[in-house]
């Protein structure tokens, strides 16, 4: 399955946050800075999705996501946190890897395929280990793009 998720090097960052809300704020700011999206609108979308239930995936991972008219294809941003933060994950493990996903408003199946691709990636022990051990944003980006290129082949 070919999942075409947009990600650029500047959309991967190391971050410090104390709360789940701070994580969402930093993710929205990253979307604003890197992709030129309205950060307030992205934050609103992410927060609305969280009211339906936590996007804490488990295993130290969260996948906050929303839909927006501001994008034409699924667009990713990623934060690696300096210290884990509680995110109301089902397994109660605080998160240290956060994958943001903003998809087009009408991208029903495409959005679900993008979420599935991210969840498959973080369920892979070797991949999760490589992301967790990456020392900086550049290394994280390399691991992510190598994974998506491999999946697309």
65 a catalytic residue: yes
Of 65, 80, 111, 113, the catalytic one is: 65
Rounded distance between C-alpha atoms, residue 108 and residue 72, angstroms: 13
Cα distance between residue 52 and residue 54, in whole Å: 7
Whole-number Å distance between alpha carbons of 109 and 113 = 6
Structure tokens at 56: 């804490």
Contact 28, 39 (CB under 8 A): yes
CA distance 151 to 64: 22
Residues known to be catalytic: 65
């Amino acid at each position: 399955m070919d999942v075409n998720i947009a990600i650029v090097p500047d959309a991967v960052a190391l971050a410090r946050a104390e709360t789940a809300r701070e994580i969402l704020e930093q993710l929205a700011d990253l979307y604003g800075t890197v992709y030129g999206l309205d950060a307030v609108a992205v934050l609103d979308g992410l927060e609305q999705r969280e009211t339906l239930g936590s996007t804490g995936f488990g295993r130290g991972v969260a996948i906050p996501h929303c839909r927006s008219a501001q994008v034409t294809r699924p667009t990713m941003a990623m934060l690696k946190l300096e210290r884990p933060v509680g995110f109301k994950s089902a397994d109660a493990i605080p998160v240290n890897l956060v994958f943001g996903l903003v998809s087009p408003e009408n991208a029903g199946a495409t959005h679900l395929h993008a979420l599935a691709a991210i969840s498959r990636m973080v369920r892979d022990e070797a991949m999760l280990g490589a992301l967790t051990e990456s020392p900086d944003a550049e290394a994280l980006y390399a691991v992510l793009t190598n994974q998506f290129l491999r999946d697309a082949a």
